[in-house]
Structure 1
């Protein structure tokens, strides 16, 4: 019996996504953080300072394909946990505790990610990146058409 490499298709993309996400969620669970909270906290962590709340919510909606109300609820939860703090007039910023949590979970996942991507040639990663970016753009266009 010969094993062939499967073509890139929705199933192979989903399997890779969910396998990597499961690894991340195990690390996040050790710190009582959900995947949605992690995505939201990252948006504040990589900003140069306070960020418009609507931009954070929009970034979460765009990344996770969830509704604005649900994304806003995640922001509210991070504020309640004192990982984000409101700034006037309509901004939020990451707190020291939020920064520490983000840095801790990032450091914990870095070696896992390195092992997952180890020994994959740079040119293969570049091709995969281009293909997945194109698929994302096309899927986002289809989603926008379905929503209009």
Structure 2
């Protein structure tokens, strides 16, 4: 008996996304953080711990496909929670508490990823990475043209 291979499509991508996101949500629940907050903390960390507030908002809008007001609200939440601070006008930085929170989220996410991707050949992961990057670029172009 032959099995028909599953072809990559939006449904397969969506199911994988929601399943892995649900696993990450368990980590986020333990830290009291939302997904958008975790993305914001990562964005600041990726920029050396300090970033222009407007650049962070733009990154959240682009990455999460949310409107600007929701992105600004996320930044304000993190500031109110003392995970981010304003070292200079127009900038935000990770506080020690924010850095520690991000590291806990990152470590938990890495543990989940290690289990999810265990045993998948590097070549398959490279192909999937290229294909999904191209799909993302095309979807972003569609959104820009709508």
Shorter-normalised TM range: over 0.9
Runs of 4+ in structure 1 deviating by more than 4 angstroms, as ranges, are: none
- After superposition, residues 47-126 of structure 1 pair within 5 angstroms as 47-126=47-126
Partner of 1:40: 40
Q: How many correspondences in the alignment? A: 146
Q: Any idea what the Cα deviations from partners look like across 1:50-89, whole Å, max 9, x if unmatched?
A: 2100010000001000001110000000000000001222
Q: Secondary structure at the match of 1:48?
A: coil
Q: Secondary structure at the match of 1:97?
A: helix
2: distance between equivalents of 1:30 and 1:49? 23
1: distance between equivalents of 2:85 and 2:108? 24
Q: Which deviates further from its counterpart, 11-20 or 42-51?
A: 42-51
RMSD over equivalenced CA pairs, Å: 1.1
Question: More relative contact order in 1 or in 2 (CA 8 Å, sep 6+)?
Answer: 2
Asked whether 1:134 is paired with 2:134, we answer yes
Shift of 1:2: 5.0
2: distance between equivalents of 1:131 and 1:13? 11
Q: Secondary structure at the match of 2:139?
A: helix
Instruction: Name structure 2 gaps, 5 residues minimum.
Output: none
Q: Any idea what the Cα deviations from partners look like across 1:120-142, whole Å, max 9, x if unmatched?
A: 01110111011001100000000
1: distance between equivalents of 2:141 and 2:48? 30
Partner of 2:22: 22
1: distance between equivalents of 2:90 and 2:96? 20
1: distance between equivalents of 2:112 and 2:33? 18
